[in-house]
Amino acid sequence: ALSDRFKRQHFILIAWLAFTFFYVAMSFSGLSIAMLFGLFAIYGLFKAATEGVEKALVADLASKGMAGTAFGWFNLVSGFMLLPASLIFGWLYESVSPQSAFLFSGSCAALAVLLLAFWVFSGPKHKTPDSNDLG
């Protein structure tokens, strides 16, 4: 897998940038059918690129013997955050405009990219199987 050749954090960062681009681009009205197909292709690549890599990163960062707990917390937090995200998106879509809902989602994704970039480039260096450490 590509995430085994490159740092998982960098791989996720690039995928989340594509996710941000998708939501910001969806906020523009007047998209053609071809543009929509292209955007959904980007979204599909994002999903394919992050689904397993995020879980692999959780496994890499989990302490020995704590992988099950780490996966539990990862899924719990992800699941709990989906409800307010969906409610806010739906409220913005119906009450304000579809464009505002997509722009808000893109803004949240951009914030996540910035936080991840800060963690990747200035945070503590975590040992991962792909760190190419020879000794």
pLDDT in tens, 64-76: 889 899 999 999 9
pLDDT in tens, 98-115: 999 999 999 999 998 899
Distance in angstroms (rounded) separating the CA atoms of residues 58 and 56: 5
Q: What pLDDT shows up at residue 2?
A: 59
- Which helix (H) or strand (E) element contains residue 51? helix 33-61
pTM of the model: 0.74
The overall average pLDDT reported for the chain is: 84
Taking the C-alpha atoms of residue 17 and residue 10, their distance in angstroms, rounded to an integer, is 11
User: Which carries the bigger pLDDT value, residue 1 or residue 98?
Assistant: 98
Q: 53: buried, middle or exposed (CB in 10 Å: 19+, 13-18, 0-12)?
A: buried
DSSP letters, 68-109, are HHHHHHHHHHHHHHHHHHHHHHHHIIIII-HHHHHHHHHHHH
- Sequence spans of domains, the chain: 2-121
Question: Considering the chain, what percentage of its residues have pLDDT values greater than 90?
Answer: 34
